[in-house]
Chains A and B, each alone.
Chain A
Amino acid sequence: GAVVSQHPSWVICKSGTSVKIECRSLDFQATTMFWYRQFPKQSLMLMATSNEGSKATYEQGVEKDKFLINHASLTLSTLTVTSAHPEDSSFYICSASSFGGRGSYEQYFGPGTRLTVT
């Protein structure tokens, strides 16, 4: 159980174009999903929190107009990188939260999407 998928797994796009990344929880419903970014040999950095049916909450320094997040259902969240530039090239990973009991929420990560902007 607790499987999260991401699509696409790898994308190359030209500078100035937009890219949409999908994150799906396959066998459970996730009220909350998270988007992280990971640069090579670095840790994961939280970008935003996505709640079903409401606006996403962005971390400080993350441009909400550039990274559009939509959480239309309990199993799907999307991240759109608008007007992508080479500095946006990174490994984007989503996670979906699942109630683990005793007030805790476990987070399960998708396989990630490697974005390369040329």
Chain B
Amino acid sequence: QQPVQSPQAVILREGEDAVINCSSSKALYSVHWYRQKHGEAPVFLMILLKGGEQKGHEKISASFNEKKQQSSLYLTASQLSYSGTYFCGTEKKYSGGGADGLTFGKGTHLIIQP
């Protein structure tokens, strides 16, 4: 089942902060975050596993609340290069282990203006 992302779109000025949410109606093993620019492939940002972990990469961080089946991506002091569409991808871990295909949300369009 497709995770639900919110907001659908957001426009910010450079230096402002943004939060993108991703929620699922099913139990999750992990949440993957990607950024895609127009006409390009998605770029991997980070993966969060069960255990309520948080991760950070420069000014982009994320959290995963497995009980609530939600994840949030935080962008602080946004830069022009952050513009793009952000997707969360969710994965169910099958008993056999190994990598699992991702079910992506519809994406959140982020526009950063100077």
Q: Which residues of A contact B (CB under 8 A)?
A: 2, 31-32, 34, 42-46, 49, 59, 93, 97, 100, 102-112
Contact = CB atoms under 8 A, between A and B. Distances in A.
A100 to B, nearest CB: 6
B47 A34 contact: no
A43 B100 contact: no
Contacts of A109: 34, 41-44
Interface of B: 2, 30, 32, 34, 40-44, 47, 49, 87, 89, 93, 97-107
A112 B44 contact: no
Contacts, number: 61
16 contacts: A2-B44, A34-B102, A43-B105, A43-B106, A44-B89, A46-B101, A49-B100, A49-B101, A59-B101, A93-B42, A100-B47, A105-B99, A107-B89, A109-B41, A110-B41, A111-B41
Nearest to A2: B44
Q: Is the interface of A mostly helix, strand, loop or mixed?
A: strand
Given A34-B101, A44-B87, A49-B101, A108 B44 contact: yes
Nearest to A99: B99
Contacts of B103: 46
Contact of B99 (A97, A102, A111): A97
Contact of A112 (B40, B89, B97, B100): B40
Nearest to A112: B41
Contacts of B41: 93, 109-112
A106 to B, nearest CB: 6
